[in-house]
Amino acid sequence: MSSDIFFGNWKYQSSTGILNSIKSGCDKDIILLSTTQRAILNLFLENPQRLVSKKEIQQLICSLVEVNELQVVRLIADLRNKLGDDSRKPIYIETVRKRGFRFVCSVNFYNEADLSSRSFSSLNSDFFLIRQRRYTYLSMIFFVASLIIIFVFFEFFKQKKITYKPSEFSISNLSSMDGIELDATVSPDGEFVAYTNYYEKENIHSIVLQNLKTKSAYKIKSMTGVSFHGVAWLSNGSQLIYQSLVLNKSCQIRKISFDKITKNVIADEVITSCGKYSYGSRLQVTPDQDFIYYPSKDSPLGSVVIMKYSFASKSNYPITSPPSSGTGDYSIALSPDGNFLSFLRDATKTHSQLWLINLKNNTHHMLYESPGFYPMSVNWTLDQKNILLPSRKKEINVYSLVSNKVSTVAYFNEPVMQLTHVGGSRFLVSGGYYWNSTVWKNNNHLINDEFCREKLFNIHESTTVVKINHVRNRPSVLLSDRSGEPKLWFYYPDGRQVELNNIPIQNEYTKGAFSPDGRKLLILTGNEFWLIEDEKKITRLSINYTPSMSFSWGMDGVTVYYTASNLGLDQVFALNTHDGSSKPVKPKLTYYEEFSDGSYAVQLRHGSSSLEIVKSDNTVFKTPITKWRVSHARNHVLGRSGVYFYQKADSGIYRILRFNIHSGAVEDTGVSQEIAGRGMDVSNDERFLYTDDGMKGNLDIREIIGLKI
């Protein structure tokens, strides 16, 4: 088969597995398929318009990885997502219910004479050889498959128990607004759903009412500069409780009353205050309307705790005490009868815990904890037998209070943030990508006045930049769940991507740092360090202390400095990557980093809010770079001439500045980005700045019918 294949809006290079968009426009999408996705697409392209069974796909890729039919469905969904296809109105891959899939788009080859050779890329030639050997058995396989289908239909009409498959439920959009829709909750009479909407381009936050029958939507309150979260109904069906948050400035729990017919607001009043450093989360009102439960954070360094507010006494007090080592108790859900409160706890910054409070006797019990367990939210089924745990891994997990086990009940082609049980097999889900951003290569105007803004690659929430390699022709490292589970990938300048299979990724808390020569990569995932040398040799480094997310290579390319807690106090430790030994070296510091040539270092002392420069002659002077920027380890970068950092401008964007270590001046690089927390890096010669232009993506409320728990 020819190397270049054209179908729909895509040109596919079978020799590299690269998809190129052929749509008009200067920014062309370039997508690299995984090995399994290449095998499946190659199968479809060789057999356009032919029905391909799930079993055939399963047999094709089993030489790569063991998969079951559920995972085949998920692989097809991921491939559709990359092609921009819609299973409801397919232009590429059509689902034939209970039978398989059909590639319905016309396929054109660059050189028709090459078609007879059937020569795909060498990577996939083994798959086609295996399939060719099986052609003589196809008639037998189809005969057996027909018998199986007849048997399945027979069992169905006998109404026996059928193994659940994700394709058996249907999904339809409920909301169609631009931006982020969260916190869907159904009114007591089942007529309306209320949710919040955030449209980032205009910085507008809204509370929305939508009629479930007519789908008509009404924004009953909209504001700029104030975010709304956690809407919850009161029993009269004409009042909502919600959180109004101005981050780091104020937080209020409010009650809004409205006319159910006109949707006009009658009153909007403050109930109580909440911690001004709160993140925003669902509120829970007891069925008797006596209490409100909500997560709250009072200080920037504190943990999120669950608060209880009493309408009668107009007082609130904490009911949980999370450890200080993690974020705290970040999501809550009240059982339908109001007797139990389930919540998620980030206790270690490596994984999450599922907890249950018996509100009658105030007893707390941890239900589940496992590495890699990090749901986005928590909720209940109406029968109170299951706790719903949607996750960024594009799946819905359920904790059964009957079996005391967690199981996966559904896969999706996008991350699932929240899930609400409406009744029976009907659910509301908030799904999509919370982030969509692009990594850019920009000229540093302090070094090079020529304008340059080159797009390197697009990323979304399930793909993040761990570290950009500033050494020429060396690969950067990404974290992506494109293969189903979070994996590290080397991304090379020529577009090649190589998956690192031997490093277990626990969750999104993953950070990387390249050695000064760019040949060694240290990865921190959870509380484990992994050393990768020359993109091949992988070594696990055991340490006695749990590190924070701040670490850096020393100038010798052997030592790694990291911050960890020792006897309740943050200290700087040195890790020897040759022998794996680790010891405290700078007990008076909470952060330390050396520049690669040893000309200077930066440090942060206990009790100080400003970063200090330490030159090679041991002179020390303070910088205007404050502590919060250091805590976000990627928000400052050491360069040969100085330290690059962010400063928020009046317009709301973040300018990238340089603190010149020679003159002490703060200089503007002429480069900026929307959000500081998305990361930034500098090339070795300081001619280029790499920025991650983070923007909010799109989350929609969707209605699911037929989901079996």
Question: What are 214-265's pLDDT values in tens digits?
Answer: 989 999 999 998 999 999 999 999 999 999 998 778 999 999 999 989 999 9
DSSP state of 149: H
Neighbours of 370 (CB within 10 A): 12
- Strands of 463-467's sheet in order across: 463-467, 476-480, 487-491, 497-500
Lowest mean pLDDT among 82-96, 260-274, 480-494: 480-494
Q: What is the pLDDT of residues 578-625, one digit of tens each?
A: 988 888 888 888 889 999 888 999 998 888 878 899 998 989 988 988
- pLDDT in the model for residue 49: 86
- pLDDT in the model for residue 624: 87
User: What is this structure's pTM?
Assistant: 0.59
Residue 2 binned pLDDT confidence (cut-offs 50, 70, 90): very low
Whether 695 and 440 have beta carbons less than 8 Å apart is answered as no
- pLDDT in the model for residue 620: 92
Q: How far apart are CA 603 and CA 230, in angstroms?
A: 40
Residue 463 binned pLDDT confidence (cut-offs 50, 70, 90): low
**CATH fold group of domain 4-157:** Arc Repressor Mutant, subunit A (1.10.10)
- pLDDT in the model for residue 609: 79
**CATH fold group of domain 169-434+698-705:** Methylamine Dehydrogenase; Chain H (2.130.10)
Residue 122 CB burial class (10 angstroms; 0-12, 13-18, ≥19): exposed
- Helix or strand run (H / E) with residue 601: strand 600-605
Q: How far apart are CA 301 and CA 130, in angstroms?
A: 58
pLDDT at 32 over 90: no
Whether 21 and 29 have beta carbons less than 8 Å apart is answered as yes
Q: How far apart are CA 689 and CA 444, in angstroms?
A: 6
pLDDT at 709 over 80: yes
Residue 309 binned pLDDT confidence (cut-offs 50, 70, 90): very high
Q: What is the pLDDT of residues 155-173, one digit of tens each?
A: 333 332 222 334 468 888 8
- Percent of residues, the chain, with pLDDT higher than 90: 34
- pLDDT in the model for residue 134: 39
Maximum average pLDDT range among 56-70, 84-98, 445-459, 693-707: 84-98
- pLDDT in the model for residue 465: 67
pLDDT at 516 over 80: yes
Residue 458 binned pLDDT confidence (cut-offs 50, 70, 90): low
Residues of the chain with CATH 1.10.10.10: 4-157
- pLDDT in the model for residue 144: 46
| Mean predicted confidence (pLDDT) in 405-426 | 88
Lowest mean pLDDT among 57-66, 183-192, 267-276, 417-426: 57-66
Q: How far apart are CA 364 and CA 246, in angstroms?
A: 32
Q: How far apart are CA 79 and CA 86, in angstroms?
A: 11
More confident residue, 540 or 33: 540
Whether 323 and 284 have beta carbons less than 8 Å apart is answered as no
Lowest mean pLDDT among 96-100, 240-244, 335-339: 96-100
- pLDDT in the model for residue 303: 85
Backbone region of residue 594 per phi and psi (left: phi > 0; alpha: psi in -120 to 50; beta: other values): beta
Non-local CB neighbours of 215 within 8 Å, separated by 6+ positions: 174
More confident residue, 469 or 539: 539
Lowest mean pLDDT among 199-208, 258-267, 621-630: 621-630
Residue 388 CB burial class (10 angstroms; 0-12, 13-18, ≥19): buried
Non-local CB neighbours of 271 within 8 Å, separated by 6+ positions: 241, 252, 253, 254, 255, 292, 309
Lowest mean pLDDT among 77-81, 309-313, 491-495: 491-495
Q: How far apart are CA 70 and CA 520, in angstroms?
A: 38
Q: Which of 329, 344, 419, 430 is nearest to 382 (CA)?
A: 419
End-to-end CA distance of the chain: 45
Q: How far apart are CA 541 and CA 355, in angstroms?
A: 32
pLDDT at 548 over 80: no
- Helix or strand run (H / E) with residue 72: helix 69-83
Maximum average pLDDT range among 184-198, 434-448, 453-467, 521-535: 184-198
Residues of the chain with CATH 2.130.10.10: 169-434+698-705, 505-692
Q: How far apart are CA 622 and CA 643, in angstroms?
A: 12
pLDDT at 441 over 90: no
- Kindly report the three-state secondary structure assignment for every residue of 251-318: EEEEEEEECCCCCCEEEEEEEEECCCCCCCCCCEECCCCCEEEEEECCCCCCCEEEEEEECCCCEEEE
Whether 462 and 415 have beta carbons less than 8 Å apart is answered as yes
In order of 13, 112, 496, 504, the CA distances from 17 in angstroms are 6, 20, 9, 25
Whether 570 and 548 have beta carbons less than 8 Å apart is answered as yes
Maximum average pLDDT range among 16-25, 554-563, 568-577, 675-684: 554-563
pLDDT at 358 over 50: yes
| Mean predicted confidence (pLDDT) in 261-276 | 95
pLDDT at 113 over 60: no
In order of 96, 196, 459, 519, the CA distances from 443 in angstroms are 51, 39, 21, 25
Classify 505-692 by CATH class: mainly beta
Mapped onto helix, strand or coil, the DSSP state of residue 531 is strand
Mean pLDDT of the chain, nearest integer: 80
- pLDDT in the model for residue 631: 42
- pLDDT in the model for residue 394: 77
Strand partners, 95: 101
Q: What is the pLDDT of residues 551-582, one digit of tens each?
A: 889 999 999 998 887 766 778 899 999 988 88
- Kindly report the three-state secondary structure assignment for every residue of 467-516: ECCCCCCCCEEEEECCCCCCEEEEECCCCCEEEECCCCCCCCCEEEEECC
Residue 332 binned pLDDT confidence (cut-offs 50, 70, 90): very high
The token pair that represents 96 in the structure block: 């034939």
Whether 414 and 433 have beta carbons less than 8 Å apart is answered as yes
Residue 426 binned pLDDT confidence (cut-offs 50, 70, 90): very high
Non-local CB neighbours of 24 within 8 Å, separated by 6+ positions: none
Q: How far apart are CA 39 and CA 46, in angstroms?
A: 11
- pLDDT in the model for residue 296: 93
- pLDDT in the model for residue 160: 29
Lowest mean pLDDT among 72-86, 215-229, 298-312: 72-86
Residue owning tokens 């594009």: 394
